[in-house]
Chain A
Amino acid sequence: MSAAESSGRARKVRLSDREGFLAWAMLLPSVVYIVALVGVPFLLAIAFAFSDVTTGDPSYHFVGLRNFRAIFHDGVFWQALGNTLLFTAASMALIVVFGKILANILVADFQGKWFVRFLVLLPWTTPVALSSISWLWFLDSIYSPVDWTLRRLGLLHGNVIWLGHSGTAMLSVVFVQAWRLTPLAAVIVMAGLVAIPRDLDEAARVDGAGYWRRMFEVTIPLTLPVIAVAALFGAIMTFTDMTVPYVLTRGGPTHATDVLASWAYFRGIEGGDVGQGAAIALFLFPILLAAAIAVLRAVRRLGLR
């Protein structure tokens, strides 16, 4: 082998073999992409919150806290904040409980499991805007089959008008949100369930523990970190989501189901006041941050096992 050839080979080896260089080179594109399209817009969102930018007049003028003062004096903002918290807490509770139950069903062995899994996944894999449409018709003010069934059972005369009253509208929005995210939670919890060594469950059976004791003393403690992850996923996706209220009720009746995200959208895009919209959306951040830290800790605990 000639000297030139061997030194050429050495150089080639050095480039694609140096782990430090490779590690950066392979990671960098993703990091740059994310910083450019998540980091920068995030800072931009903060800047907008202090500006008078509108869709019609995109020139930037710093206006200090004017947008915040405006939204604080707007009753709808406070209502939306309260709605967001209620919407999130109620949906999350449902998601966790039903997600756990659903996961237990899905890891069990039975005939026709594949088909059941397929049906059960539908709510999550369907674009949320489309499934909400199915629900829109399901909860129609005149033709709702729910009403029809209730009428048949003699429990109702006329119609409930689910989306027309503030109470039932909120109930519907919460239910649909829980309905669509429960399969995701179930998949996450399933991941935790299948990670439990089979030995442990069998040891508990030999040790004399029945179904419920195994559930509460072995399975649930061992999947708690995963359940926490599922809960926080559900919480974050609900907290920041506007699709279900947007399609089902458009925030109505009279803002009864407006959440921060939908109110930011109506203000910022449809109302054209980008500054105020950004200021409203910014309120999502501190709570998100807290939730993210919580996820982090849950994941850490998961890693310890």
Chain B
Amino acid sequence: MSSEDAAAAAMRADGVAGLRRRYARRYVMGRVALYAMAVMAALVCALPFLWSLISAFKQNQDLYNPDNDPFVFNKPATPDHVRYLFADTGFPTFVGNTLLVGTAVVAVTLLLALPAAYSLARLDRPWGTPMGIGIFLVYLVPPSLLFLSLTRVVVALGLADSLWSMIVIYPTFTVPVSVWLLIGFLKAVPKDVEEQAMVDGHSRLGAFVRIVLPLVFPGIVAVVVFAFTLTASEFVYALAFVSAAPGMVVSTGVPTQLVRGDVFYWQSLQAAAVFTAVPIAFAFNLFLDRFVTGFTMGAVKT
């Protein structure tokens, strides 16, 4: 007898209450399992940061004693190392540089990617699809393959050790992925709206600028956040192009400049990691659903 037959038979007999209890229990177990998994996932992902946060406020005697419980304050907490990070290291400079580079790269990216995405999403050309896929594949060409020659290019352009080197080169990886996301968002705008605008006397270009752009604004915001995140995380180019501290960004400055020889400013390093990580993850989380839909739409119809 199958389980379903058994279930039916049980229903027929007096077992409905029992069956209901069984499924109620199963439901509760499912919920408990879900919460357990969620907490586990959050812990595994965030534990190093959590622990960094605690370490950042520890006194040296507390931190550098292998017998101390590393997860609690064994001595009173101290803000000294965090103050040191902001007052006596290049960290504020690195943050400023990162913001500067990020903003400039995002601007260049939008300028290039928006028209390109519109062209691929809407102005149906026979080469549209292969071109779209081609641009997407460029995203997969890794920095590790290009940094040697790009370093020569940067030197040749006289941009070595300057923020401009990153502003010029980073769009090579932000543009492809932004085009991909924007195609998805643009395809979600009903064609009718645009055609209405054209009937109402706007040119194709005018319809794009006046009607379509405002409609995909939420998508554009998502792309801005995404491109900024990629820019802030980039490591290899930044390391190869810039070797002087004043031109460094967070991702290279912190690991190279906050370590003097073998002396690690551990608490300050941890604080730097946390202070950088939290705002980016926060912004990213705000737009997560949009990335998800953007990715799907771009993928389904390209």
Contact = CB atoms under 8 A, between A and B. Distances in A.
Q: A and B: direct contact (Cβ < 8 Å)? A: yes
Interface of A: 12-13, 16-17, 19-20, 22-27, 29-31, 33-34, 37-38, 40-42, 44-45, 47-48, 53, 58, 101-102, 105, 108, 110, 112-123, 125-135, 137-138, 142-143, 145, 147-148, 159, 179, 182-183, 187-188, 190-192, 194-195, 208, 211, 226, 229, 236-237, 239-243, 246-247, 260-261, 264-265, 268-269, 274, 277-278, 281-282, 284-285, 288, 291-292, 295-296, 299, 302-303, 305
A187 B135 contact: no
A135 to B, nearest CB: 6
Interface residues of B, number: 104
A188 B291 CA distance: 9
A299 B302 contact: yes
The 7 closest A-B pairs by CB, nearest first: A240-B142, A26-B115, A261-B144, A44-B149, A126-B277, A145-B70, A23-B123
Nearest to A117: B285
B254 A130 contact: yes
Contacts of B124: 19
A123 B254 contact: no
Interface in B143-162: 143-153, 155
B19 to A, nearest CB: 14
B79 interface: no
A237 B143 CA distance: 10
A37 B270 contact: no
Interface stretch (B48-56, B82-90, B187-195, B212-220): B48-56
B119 A264 contact: no
A27 B273 CA distance: 38
Contact of B142 (A119, A147, A241): A241
A110 B292 contact: no
B150 A128 contact: no
Contact of A278 (B41, B148, B295): B148
B78 interface: no
Q: Give the most central of B115, B138, B140: most A CB within 10 Å.
A: B140
Contact of A37 (B150, B235, B269): B150
Contacts of B133: 296, 299
A274 B292 contact: no
A33 B112 contact: yes
